[in-house]
Amino acid sequence: MCGIVGYVGPEEAGPILLQGLKRLEYRGYDSAGIALLNGSGVQVVKRSGKLSSLEQAVQEDSPSGTCGIAHTRWATHGAPNQPNAHPHTSSQGDIALVHNGIIENANDIRTQLSAIGYVFTSETDTEAVVHLIDRLWVEGEPLEDVVAAALRRVEGAYGIAVVSSRDPGKIVIARNGSPLLIGVGKNGETLAGSDAAAVIALTRDVVYLDDGDYAVLDMDGYRIKDIHGAQVSRTTHEVTWDLEAIEKGGYEHFMLKEIFEQPSSLRDVMRGRLMEEDGDSRLGGIAHHQPNLSRVRRVVITACGTSWHAALLGEYMIEELARIPVEVEYASEFRYRNPVLEDGTLVLAISQSGETADTLAALREAKHRGISTMGVVNVVGSTIARETDYGIYLHAGPEIGVASTKAFTSQLVALALVTLNIGRRRHLSVVQGGGIVRALKELPDQVEKVLELDSQIRSLAEAYADARNFLYLGRGLQFPVALEGALKLKEVSYIHAEGYPAAEMKHGPIALIDEDMPVVVLAPRDAVYQKVVSSIEEVKARRGRIIAVVTDEASELDGKVDHIIRVPQTIALLQPILTTVPLQLLAYHMAMIRGADVDQPRNLAKSVTVE
Ligand code: G6P
């Protein structure tokens, strides 16, 4: 959600900043802008709309400077137009600031400053901060001290970067609630970014700021101070993935690339973690916490969006194999309730980005109450990964497509590995565990088989591209898959879709069914298969059009439904991985045929770092 990039060094900053923004565009694409410091002051160029508009404007204006900041916006306060685009500047144009987050007391600051003559030109909360910095600046004071003074008066969440011609040659950045890191360059350059993708072209060495930290970046490196003004040192991490991972690699879209990456991302999440003979998993991230885990009497899983669907499947897995009661909570609801979190509860946060504001807040609430916390996270070094007591990484590599695909299937495998680990220390036998390990090992090849259905699914999408609604039905472990299938379709193709437990259909959605309603039914051969067949009959009786996802080679459904998607069979707990992949492809092709922007669907952002 909003991307920030900064550069100070020997080179022209403009092209480097634009390149960084390009890699961050998935975080927001309502507007974009850059500010460069040069001999004549601060030069700002900004445009509404996608980054391409800014690139064109930069070509025309050719701003120059070797120190600058840039931003790509996902609108919170104010419409996505040019005046609201970042950077925001002081009235004299000599201070420029970019911001990710929400300043909660912006209106108070705005009122106070307006009363003494400050003129606001945007509707954003951010502009209040830049005028506040101007107001507090005593001549001769270094930029970092003024920024720190201003931030002491600011309430809310922010990651900011500031430059000023009053104190040139440096960028001041600060973090409170919105991720920010420093890219440590090797040739006299220092960078800033809201995530590693912004800086990876120039350096793999990154330093994550903690909440309350602010830092000065210049050609000599960086200095970090904490909330109390004390100089602190933070660990340097090495980014382990390559630039290739955040490029399309021959695919038309990141979403398609990431769908097709699933055989390898599933191999990566399992690598070195399967112990077939012991029917167990080896998880370095939780190995030292076994005593804590053995005390767990109840698990609360919290997450948002697609990760919440993974959480629902985690509930089935943990209850079934580890026999521990589980509740799943939307993080955004959990944080404002007064949840009962007694001793023996484990709060498990699932997040691809590791930065989702609601999930982080839920986690912090649990920690505040002394509850132990665990993370299942993809982005290494992200806030949730750092703030949970322990956890495991997905190692799925960067996920750029806004609609989550490979992270979801990796989350399911990660949850299976965690469940196996906990289960084997409780009721799960070596034989049962061994069966799960063997099924896990087969999964990547089975996903490859599902991907071979791509052209069949594309033809199906062509047949239904004009549909206005879609219904997805599943039962038991396939119910969260129905939710995920519907979410994917909504996100990228803008077709209204609902996921429903198959048997619940008759308590409402059945009223919607007629010959114009495509219904995707998840019907793998499992314990509830026959029940799902009954639901299919009910849809058929009302002339609904049925697309069934099945595992049987040939079955009674063949003549009964309109279309069959056949996927390989695995154990019930892992079957959702194989039934989800065709639904990802269906959503992708529907969106493509309808001309939607698959990687950057309207109004969405990849990681939602505001409430
Ligand atoms: C946003 C994204 C979703 C994602 C959700 C949770 O809404 O568009 O794809 O599932 O956030 O994100 P997280 O990074 O916490 O998994």
Active centre residues (catalytic)? 2, 606
Q: Please identify, by atom number, the ligand 1 atom nearest to the C-alpha of residue 304.
A: 6
Nearest-CA residue for ligand 1 atom 7 is: 305
Which atom of ligand 1 is nearest to 306's Cα? Answer: 10
| SS3 per residue for 529-565 | HHHHHHHHHHHHHCCCEEEEEECCCCCCCCCCCCEEE
- The rounded Cα 271 to chain-centroid distance in angstroms is 23
Ligand 1 midpoint to CA 352 (Å):
7
- Band the pLDDT of 246: cuts 50, 70, 90: confident
C-alpha 418 – ligand 1 centre gap (Å)? 21
- Give me 438's structure tokens: 């063997």
CA-CA distance, 333 to 351, in Å (whole number)?
A: 16
**Residue 366 CA to ligand 1 centre (angstroms):** 20
Residues 408 and 503 in one domain: no
Q: Is 90 exceeded by the pLDDT of residue 40? A: no
> 3-class DSSP state for residue 264?
helix
Domain stops at, among 239, 272, 293: 239
Mark whether 45 and 159 lie in a shared domain.
Answer: yes
* pLDDT per position as a tens digit, 433-489: 999 999 999 999 999 999 999 999 999 999 999 999 999 999 999 999 999 999 999
Q: Which CA distances in Å does 561 have to 24, 339, 500, 545?
A: 43, 44, 19, 7
Which of 400, 419, 451 is the C-terminal boundary of a domain?
451
Q: Are residues 14 and 108 in the same domain?
A: yes
pLDDT score of 223: 97
User: Do residues 465 and 446 both lie within one domain?
Assistant: no
Do 416 and 573 touch, CB atoms closer than 8 A? Answer: yes
Residue 602 is assigned to a structural domain of this protein: no
Is 607 domain-assigned? no
Mutational test site, ligand 1, from 178, 259, 304, max ligand atoms within 8 Å of CB: 304
Identify the residues whose C-beta falls under 6 Å from ligand 1: 304-307, 351-353, 356, 359, 402-404, 604, 606-608
| 491 and 379 assigned to the same domain | no
Instruction: Examine residue 285 and state whether it is found in any structural domain, yes or no.
Output: yes
User: What distance in angstroms lies between residue 525's CA and the mean position of ligand 1's atoms?
Assistant: 30
Q: Could you tell me the CATH number of the domain that includes residue 40?
A: 3.60.20.10
Query: 338 and 445, same structural domain?
Result: yes
CA of 411 to the centre of ligand 1 (A): 12
* Assigned domain for 371 exists: yes
pLDDT the model gives residue 54: 94
Cα 201 from Cα 386, distance rounded (Å): 24
Nearest CA to ligand 1 atom 3: 305
Are 230 and 254 in the same domain?
no
The CATH number of residue 393's host domain is: 3.40.50.10490
Total number of residues shown for the chain: 611
Same domain membership, residue 498 and residue 410? no
Q: What is the DSSP string of 484-540?
A: HHHHHHHHHH--EEEEEEGGGGGGTGGGG-STT-EEEEEE-SSTTHHHHHHHHHHHH
Compute the distance from residue 592 Cα to the ligand 1 centre, in Å. 21
* 475 and 498, same domain (yes or no): yes
Domain that holds residue 25: 3-239
Question: 3-state DSSP helix/strand/coil percent for the chain, to nearest 5?
Answer: 40, 25, 40
pLDDT at 316 over 80: yes
465 against 557, higher pLDDT: 465
By alpha-carbon position, which residue is closest to atom 8 of ligand 1? 606
Residue 610 lies in a domain: no
CA distance 410 to 589: 22
Across 24-33, 68-77, 469-478, the highest mean pLDDT is recorded for 469-478
Q: Is the dihedral of CA 182, 183, 185, 189 positive or negative?
A: negative
Least-confidence region, from 405-419, 446-460, 553-567, 571-585: 553-567
Ligand 1 centroid – CA 105 distance (Å):
27
Closest C-alpha to ligand 1, atom 2: 606
Query: pLDDT tens digits for 264-275?
Result: 999 999 999 999
Q: Which of 75-84, 113-122, 210-219 has the lowest mean pLDDT?
A: 75-84
The pLDDT mean for the chain works out to: 93
Question: Measured at the alpha carbon of residue 503, what is the angle toward residues 502 and 508, in degrees to the nearest 5?
Answer: 90
Q: Kindly report the backbone phi and psi dihedral angles of residue 100, in degrees, each rounded to the nearest multiple of 5, phi listed first.
A: -125, 125
Q: Establish if 604 belongs to a structural domain.
A: no
For 544-555, what is each residue's pLDDT tens digit? Answer: 899 999 998 877
Q: Ligand 1: which of 404, 488, 602, 609 to mutate, judged by most atoms within 8 Å of the beta carbon?
A: 404
Q: Is the pLDDT of residue 191 over 70?
A: yes
CA 454 to centroid of ligand 1, rounded, Å: 25
360 and 500 share a domain? Answer: no
CA 404 to chain CA mean position, Å: 7
On whether both 441 and 484 belong to a single domain, the answer is: no
DSSP label at residue 28: -
Tell how far the Cα of 551 is from the centroid of ligand 1, in angstroms.
Answer: 29
Distances (CA, A) of 269 to 283, 425, 577: 11, 21, 14
Instruction: Classify residue 570: in a domain, yes or no.
Output: yes
Of 203, 221, 239, the last residue of a domain is 239
CA 551 to CA 531: how far, in whole Å?
15
Q: Collapsing DSSP states into helix, strand and coil, what is residue 301?
A: strand
Does residue 355 form part of some domain? yes
- If one counts the domains in the chain, the total is 3
Distance (Å) from CA 27 to ligand 1 centroid: 11
The reply to whether 443 and 469 lie within a common domain is no
3-state SS of 410-446 is HHHHHHHHHHHHHHHCCCCCHHHHHHHHHHHHHHHHH
Highest mean pLDDT among 248-252, 396-400, 407-411: 407-411
Please determine, for residue 26, whether its predicted confidence score (pLDDT) is greater than 80: no
* Ligand 1 mutation pick, 301, 307, 408, 597, max ligand atoms within 8 A of CB: 307
Q: What pLDDT score was predicted for residue 291? A: 81
Q: Give residue 600 CA to ligand 1 midpoint distance, Å.
A: 13
Note the pLDDT of residue 513: 84
Ligand 1 site-directed mutation target among 606, 609, 610, 611, most atoms within 8 Å of CB: 606
Q: How far is the CA of 353 from the centre of ligand 1 (A)?
A: 7
Distance in angstroms (rounded) separating the CA atoms of residues 444 and 488: 21
Q: pLDDT grade, residue 76 (50/70/90)?
A: confident
Q: What is the mean pLDDT of residues 319-327?
A: 95
